[in-house]
Structures are given as C-alpha cells and as structure tokens.
Chain A
C-alpha cells in the first residue's frame, strides 16, 4: 500500500542514524568483511587505472626499445591479478551485504511487530490502520534501500574520492592543484542541486499523499457518487490535486534528473582542461620524460573523468536518505511507544477445591479456577474464580473534558446476566473496555471476585473473559483453527461441540472442506452472520467464566438469532454475562437491565420492573411497538 506514505520529516537525523547502525551492529562480522571487500574493490579499481598508465608507458618504451616485452607481460600479469582481487572483493561484499540487509530488516520487522502487539488498544484506536501498515511497507522499504544501497554507496564514494585524489597527487601535484578547484565547484553544485531537489521532493511527497488520500476516499465512496450522479464534481476535485502533484513532480524530477548530466559534463570540462594544462606540462617536460609524461597525463585524465561519478552517485542517494530517515523515525516511534502497562500480580491458576472450600493449586486442568494472590509478607492466598464483578462509581473519559461514563456503579453476581441498553454512543462499549482493561481506571473502582482488577495480571484477567464483538474478526486459517483460537489445546471433539452450541455446525459442514476450509482475509468468503456464528463458537470453545457479548447478534437477522438462541442460552448458563445491545429483543430475559444514557445509568431492574416503572426503558419498548 503506497497510499499512506507519510510526510518526509526528519527530526533527529544523528540519533536515528546511530540507531540504524546499532541494528547493523548485530551483523558486525558480515558488515566488517563487507566493508573490507568494498575497500579492496575500490583499491583494485584505482590501482587498475594506475596500472593502465604503467602499461601505456611500457608500450611506448618497448616501441622505442627502452623496455622489453617481458616487462609488458609482467605488468599485464599484475593487472590481471589486481582485477581478479577486485572482482572477488566485489562479490564478497555484495554477498555479505545481503546477509546484513535481510537480517537487519528482519530484526526491525520482528521487533516492530512484537512491540506493536504489546501496545495498548488506545494506540490502535487513535491511528488509522493504513498509517500503521505503511511502517511495515513503505517505511521499511525505504530503510532497506538505505541500508542496502545508500550506506555502501556513501562509503564507497568517500573512499573512492580520497583514493583517486591521492593517486592524482602522486601522479602530478601540479595538475592536482587545478583539480582541487574543479572539485570544489562540483561539490558546491551538487550541494545546491541536492538541497533544491530535496525541498521539491518533500513537496512532491506531500502532494502524492493528498492525491492518494483523495483517490482512496472517492473510490471507496464511488457507489455514493453514482447514486447522486456526482461524477463530474468528483472529477473536477481530482483534477486540481492532480495538477498540483504534476507541478511538484516536474520540479522535483527536473532537479533530480539534471544531477547526472551536470556531474558528467563538469567532469568532461575537467577532462578537457586537464588535457590542455597537462599537454602544456608534458611539452614543458614538467611531468618527466615524454613517455612518462604522456602516460601520466592519460592516467590522470582517466581519474579526473571518473572523479565525478562517485560524487554524483552519492548525491543521487540524497532523496532516498531523506525518505529512509523519516521512515526510520516513524518505525522507531512505534517501537518506543509506551507498551501496555501491567502491574498486576494476581494470576489465574487451575484449582482443586475440596468440600470445605479449601483451595489448592493444581498443575493439570481441573475445570475450576482460582486467583492466586501473593502478599508482601511472602504468603499466598487463593480466591475461587466465580465471576463476581463490581463497578464502584466509575467515571471515565477517553479525552480530557469529554466524560464518557459518569459515576457508574453496577454489580453482577456469579451466573447473572446483565444487559446494558442504550443508544449508540451512550457508553455501553466503554464499560467492557474498562472491564477488559483495554483502558485503565483508578484503583479499586472495579473488582473481580473482590479483587481490584488493576492487581490482576492483564493476560489472566482477559483469559477469564470471553468476548464476542460487534465486528467479528476471524484469522487466515482453517475454520477449526479459528474456533480453537481462544484455547489452542482444545480437542477436535471440543471444537465440534462448540460449533454445535453456536449453531455453526450446519453451515460449516456445507463448506467445501468442512472444518478444514481455509478462511481468506477476515473470513471474506463467509456472510456476516456466519462469521458471527463462528465468533460465538470461538468463545464457546474458550469456555470462559465471564462472557461479554457486545452487539454479538446485531448482524444476524432476528429469525436466525432466534434459531441460535438455544445455543446462546446454553453458552450463557452458569456464566456471568454482560450483554450489550440496542435491539431490545435480545435482552429481555436478563437478570438485570441497565439503561445507559449519556454515560449514566438512568434505570436499572429486570424487564418487568422496568416496564412497570414506565420510564425510559418502557418508552424504548413502546417506541418499538409504536404504530407509526
């Protein structure tokens, strides 16, 4: 997805660079040998050019009878050796670099994902998926190119320029003096182009972001555009953004494209100037004998032509480096985001409970559970897991000044069914967000079997709560694997039983491969209702003592819902259940119904008492039967 390319903004290049290098450090061995290979290959290249001078000199000397062809053969032999070293060195460097690059990228990906899994739900709630996703795609790709090509290129350019310049000084200091001037000119022009091109490049990226955003929005809403015959307007809106992108892209590429011709031709200017001055020096005898002079000049000219190419190549990396550093900072941002805090120490253990109610811990599953509560004095106490839940005047807001829940108190005795009713946005889902500790409340406000839930380890707390959410999410894998998701060690028989309970058995057996049918991305090959049935089966297999059904049956039509009701009833038996619904038919037989409005509980009671109370619940019910 190239759609979410983030803005190009580098805050702290030095720190980011250092951190990138720390990953490369993990592959120190390969990296160092790759660097050695790089240096050797450059040395071979520079030395090779130098040897061409020696050979040309020898050729003339042989012709003039000043040297023998044996000398020439020997020189060519040496050059073969130098070239052989160069080729081997290049191969070694490239081969080792792929180890480094793929390794670095994998470490970064793995670390990013691992850290991401530990982030609080809030992190995901406050960012779009595309935004996070692009760190795995665009940003890591920019970073890969940086490690794979920009870093070696920068190293190689520096070393090459230094090595060539050294050789040039050795060949002729007089000519080198002149080259220094040209070199300065080259560096200045490169610097200017890179700067200009960089600033336009940043603008271009911003324009791409805008165009892609527009494309995404209007392609996703295309059906609405059709229904309103709004095509012309939408095209006009697009044309404006498209034009802006075109202008920025032209400017950015004009600079980036002109880098090579400028560098290349500056080097020809250098070449020609060196030829004139050099010839003058040769004829003056300032470069030694005639043969030596010509050979020196030719070698020198080779160097002066080659000098611009490492500088140009380094400069070409500039935009990529900008992208990579901006991307790396976003990646590191994700890694550094504060993980979900968990100071809980009360854990959930398998328990053996005798007739007097004494609890002992068991290694093996016993079908009963207890909270293991270590105390400061080193003693342990056990509390049986019953599913008793209390909220004591909980007030909560996601953002400051926007209270979502006001002074909520509620209790659910073990095995009770508590229904939360109210319109969308009233705060029903927030209650489950707090119970699962997706979001945290101050100490002691929520108690689970009498224990402050902030003291319970999050993993253990969540294992004891089963959730079926409004948006069901399934994972790529077989139906069986999906049902088993909450309890990986469930036997096949238990999986089938769970499916039967949720009334999912019937449609599963009609799938092409039955329980082994592979579900594609988020269960796209199933209907919404079928997905919901699977989600219910998944919870049934996990067998938690407390259930949270957040609009669990909203996508199932009432008739199908009625059909699965029996399964649901069985599922709910003996468990504490929180049912969140705006459809009242699903909550009638709850032990307690809480009507929530604007974050407050305005009524509570069972169906009959609430109807008799003739309050909001009664109105809601009547609204339902209001003959309109």
Chain B
C-alpha cells in the first residue's frame, strides 16, 4: 500500500533523500557535542588547562555551527520534498478521478472523493515530512546516544536498558486504550456535525415548524456527547506526559546515585558523569518522538488506504476494443436485448430493452419516477456499460468507438447539470473550444438563452460563480442545452432538461431543435405529455421495462399508463 504511494515521490526523491542525509549529519554533530563537553571538563578544567578548554570549546562551536547549517538545509529540503510529494499525489488522484467512469464515481460518492483529495492528502503530506525528518533523526539519535552512553560507562548505561522497555510498554498501553476511545470521539463529532449540516440545509423547515428550541436541544445533546467522549479519551492520554517525566526523573536519579558513587570511588570522572546526564534527555526524547511517529503513521494509515483505494480503482470503461479511426457516421440508435444494473449484479434496473431509433428521428420517453428512463439514455453515450445485450450507435456497437468519438457525437444534457466558475462564454466553449462568437450566439438562440444572456450587463462575458449560482434554474438549463448544441452532435439527449423552463419557452426550444437542426436525432425524457406528443416515437417506460412504443394517438388508444399520465395533465381542461 505504502509502496504504491511512494512512487509519487518522483522527482522529489533527491530533496527527500538529502533531507534525511542532512538530518543524519545534524544528529551526529549534535551527539558529539555532549561528548566534547566531557573533554572540556576533564581535559581542560580538571587539569587546569585553559588551552584545552579553548580548543575543545572551539571544536564544539564549529560543530554547533555546522549542525545549524545542515539542520536548516534539511528543514528546507524536507519542506520541498513533502510539498512536492503531496503535489504529485494530488495530481495523481485528481487525474485518476478524471478517468473514472460514472460507475466508479457512483461507487465512491463525490463527497468522499473530495475528502480523499483534501484532508487525506494533507495527512499524508504531514506524515511524510515527519518520516523524512523525525523517522531518521529519532532512531539515529537513540542509537548513537546509547552507544555513547555505553562508551562512557557501560555499567551506568544499563539503567537505560531498564528504562526504555518500561517507557515503551507504558506508551503501547496508552495507545491501545486511547485509540479506540478517540475513534469513538470522532464518531460523536461526525454525529454532531451532521446535525449542524441538517439544520443548515433545512433551516426553512426548522423555522416554519418553529422547532428552533427543539433543534438547539438536540444539538446540545450531541455536543454534550462529544464532550463526554472527548473527556473519556483525553483522560487516558493525560497519563502520557507524567509517565514520560517519571521515566526521565527516575533515570536521572539512578544515574546521579550510581554515577555519584562511581565518581566517589574514582572509577568515573565528574566530566563523564555530567556528559552522561546530557544523554538522559536525548535518549528518552528520541523514544518519545518514535512513539509520536508511530501514532501519526497509524492515523495516516487510514488516509493512505483511502487514497490508494482511489488509485487502485480501475476505470471500468475504456477504449480497449475501440478502433480510433471509427467515427459515428449517422444518428441511429439500437438497443438489442439490453439488461443493465448499476452495481453490476443481476438485479437489473433495465430489463430486455429492444428498440430502434432511425437517424433524424425525435423520440420521447415517458414514465413515472423510478422507471429507469435516465438509466436508459445514459447507456447511449456509454456512460455505463450494459450487462447483457448490445447497443448500436450509427450501426456499430458503442464500444467500437473511442469514448471521445462516441461522446462527441452523442450529447447528453444531464438532469443534474453543472456549470463551472468562469464566464458564460468559457462555459459554452466546453462544447467546442474553437467556436466563433456567432456560432455560440446561434446555439444560444436555439436554446432560448441568447436573449437573457444579452440582458446581463456583461453579456456573454458575465462571470458565473461556482455551480452557476448567479443564474436561475431555468437559465442554467438553457445554458446547458446551448453548451451541448455547440458540440454539433448527431444525437442529442435531453434528460428532463427543461423542467425549470416555462412551457412556452420549452416549446420554442423544441421548435428550434426541429427546424434548425434537421437530421439530428433527438431523444427527450419528459414529464409533460405535450413535450413528447409530436415525437416520431414515444417510448413508455414502466419499472425498468418498455411498456409500449408508438405515436401519441396510438398510445392514447392502447396504453393504459400513457393515458393515465395524459389524463392527469388534462384535468379541468375542455
């Protein structure tokens, strides 16, 4: 799993490796310093030799200066390496998601993909920096310090051998007990946050039912639960620092006592003893840092896993069987015994679908909520692959075309459509990058968008906020239609794309499609009968199956569902 991510270090291998190397040098120098200290005391002060004091003192200053130099250098390189690593991961995951098919995206949900790309990558970046800086530093410091301690006085160094396992075991116990408690705490946080989220979304409902007090009460409960969980978890962690101090203090006391006696019996010098004291903190501090890294790695392990899951996901739709030179020649569509389910099981949402649409025809699709109308049309541009059967576009199976060639020829205006931040023109140019102003205006005229765009002070250069917030729902839909028209597709699919457009405008759009774009196959999913009434064919969907296909008059005479829908919309009219 980690290997998979490690390859993202890429061109930042050099700064990362150098950062680790320089940290090692810094550590070596840092450890040498207390050792030099004992020379100053024993060779200089004890022997009344001021020259030695100055010599060893200067060496020490030189060491400190060098250590400073390498320390800062390594700090900068580590920053470069980890930021670069994060950049590469981000680009890789983002790129991967761009290659995802609809199936892949549905599987992860957009919310979770966003968290993986933001929060999780940040965690990993932090962990990486920690690894190249501390994971080299702490064990190295620990080893060297212990070696030094043993060189100074092996008997006294045995104290560490006793202290280290005690500290390590204590920390493991704390982590073991603390970790599940923190997980519980995060869960409580999630619950509380979803309460807030809920209130933000539904504030009008809360206010109109006058339930502010009730909601506040509910929130207080959630908030109190968070506090309790937090207290419970922190109560375990709170033992950490005192335990650590206990170990340091106990070591110091033991060293002072036993070391003191060694000095008294003249088997150890006072200089050696004071150096030894210097190592106490270095050794135990390194141990503490190692513990910290381990905790961080455990935390980021979840993040790493979530990122790798995205990277490991194979886009399930590819150009594998495609012939790159093959272009869609004409706009016919044929479904042959098609069965389809979103989760690739045999619990089909679409069952035995068979029909043929000739190029240039206008086809309406009618059916209740959940009758799988949207699922049906999404198969045409191969947004999903079928489980059984075959779909032909322009007389060839859809997977024989490259996705690019197929989707250039088949435009879908999705039900949940999105505009991006940028000017109206930039958004429209998604359909055709090289479209001229006149071509853009023409598409907008057909989509009945030209007039309202021109009414904006900045016209086609009006800036749209994220999600197209500054245009109304109906305007957004018309812009989306114009954007799709600019592709000059052979097949145009409108999935309830004019639901927020008033009926008169809706009629004008259809009129435009019919007269100005002759030869284009148009497939319209609609709620209103009158939207599809004039179509060459109307497909009536019911519960994932085709209930009937025919023209308006035929269906009215023979199909119960169609008649019911029709009557429900005719009520009260002569």
Contacts and interface: CB of A to CB of B under 8 A. Distances in A.
Given A109-B223, A485-B209, A272 B60 contact: yes
A52 B252 contact: yes
A273 to B, nearest CB: 7
A559 B197 contact: no
Contacts of A2: 115, 118-119, 122
A440 B17 CA distance: 64
A235 B368 contact: no
Interface string A327-343: 00000000000000000
B37 A271 contact: yes
Interface in A539-578: 542, 554-562
Interface string A271-292: 1110110011011000000000
A258 B573 contact: no
Given A55-B256, A219-B113, A257-B76, A467 B474 contact: no
A582 B477 CA distance: 15
Given A253-B129, A276-B54, A221 B420 contact: yes
A80 interface: yes
B164 interface: no
A364 to B, nearest CB: 20
Contacts of B54: 276
Interface stretch (B143-151, B259-267, B324-332): B259-267
Contacts of A260: 71, 75
A129 B48 contact: no
Contacts of A619: 504
B94 A235 contact: yes
Contacts of B206: 117
Given A76-B256, A283-B45, A283-B50, A624 B270 contact: no
A366 B278 CA distance: 84
Given A527-B370, A628-B534, A436 B208 contact: yes
A91 B466 contact: no
Contacts of A245: 83, 87
B205 interface: yes
Given A90-B241, A222-B110, A280-B50, A265 B65 contact: yes
Interface residues on A, range: 35 or more
Contacts of B502: 422-424, 582, 620, 623
Given A95-B238, A224-B414, A265 B48 contact: no
A1 B511 CA distance: 46
A250 B80 contact: yes
A272 B278 CA distance: 14
B7 interface: no
B117 A215 contact: yes
A628 B515 CA distance: 11
Contacts of A279: 40-41, 44-45, 50, 53, 57
B507 A229 contact: no
B79 A249 contact: yes
A261 B71 contact: yes
Contact of B430 (A105, A228, A254, A425): A228
Interface string B239-270: 10110011001001100110010011010001
A246 B91 CA distance: 11
A101 B36 CA distance: 44
Contact of A219 (B61, B97, B370, B530): B97
Contacts of A212: 114, 118
Nearest to B68: A265
Nearest to A132: B200
Interface in A102-140: 102-103, 105-106, 109-110, 113-114, 116-118, 121, 124, 129, 132-133, 136-137
B561 interface: yes
Nearest to A73: B257
B37 A79 contact: no
Interface stretch (A56-64, A172-180, A379-387): A56-64
B53 to A, nearest CB: 4
A226 interface: yes
A116 B198 CA distance: 13
A226 B101 contact: yes
B207 interface: yes
A234 B564 contact: no
A212 to B, nearest CB: 5
Contacts of A250: 79-80, 83-84
B437 to A, nearest CB: 20
B247 to A, nearest CB: 10
B100 interface: yes
Interface stretch (B153-161, B165-173, B226-234, B341-349): B226-234
B472 A424 contact: yes
A102 B227 contact: yes
B284 interface: no
Main secondary structure of the interface of B (DSSP, over half): helix
A117 to B, nearest CB: 4
B83 A557 contact: no
Contact of B197 (A117, A133, A423): A133
Given A222-B98, A257-B75, A52 B277 contact: yes
A413 interface: no
A298 B274 contact: yes
A485 B206 CA distance: 9
A513 interface: no
A506 interface: no
B383 to A, nearest CB: 7
Contacts of A211: 90, 118
A473 B205 contact: yes
A392 interface: no
Given A220-B418, A424-B472, A476 B75 contact: no
A545 to B, nearest CB: 14
Given A79-B256, A268-B63, A527-B369, A254 B75 contact: yes
Nearest to A425: B472
Interface in A512-534: 521-522, 527-529
Interface string A233-255: 01100110011011101111110
A149 to B, nearest CB: 12
Among A62, A219, A224, max chain B CB count under 10 A is at A219
B417 interface: yes
A244 B416 CA distance: 32
Contacts of B4: none
Given A242-B87, A620-B503, A117 B212 contact: yes
Given A227-B407, A254-B79, A268-B33, A121 B204 contact: yes
A69 B514 CA distance: 109
B569 interface: yes
A562 to B, nearest CB: 4
A294 B99 contact: no
Interface string B194-220: 111111111111111111111110011
A385 to B, nearest CB: 15
30 contacts: A3-B114, A59-B270, A60-B263, A87-B242, A101-B234, A110-B219, A113-B223, A117-B199, A117-B212, A216-B114, A219-B113, A227-B381, A228-B431, A231-B99, A242-B87, A253-B129, A254-B80, A261-B67, A262-B68, A265-B71, A272-B36, A272-B60, A297-B41, A424-B473, A485-B209, A521-B194, A521-B197, A583-B527, A585-B571, A625-B530
Closest 6 A/B residue pairs (Cβ): A261-B71, A473-B202, A253-B79, A257-B75, A276-B57, A588-B572
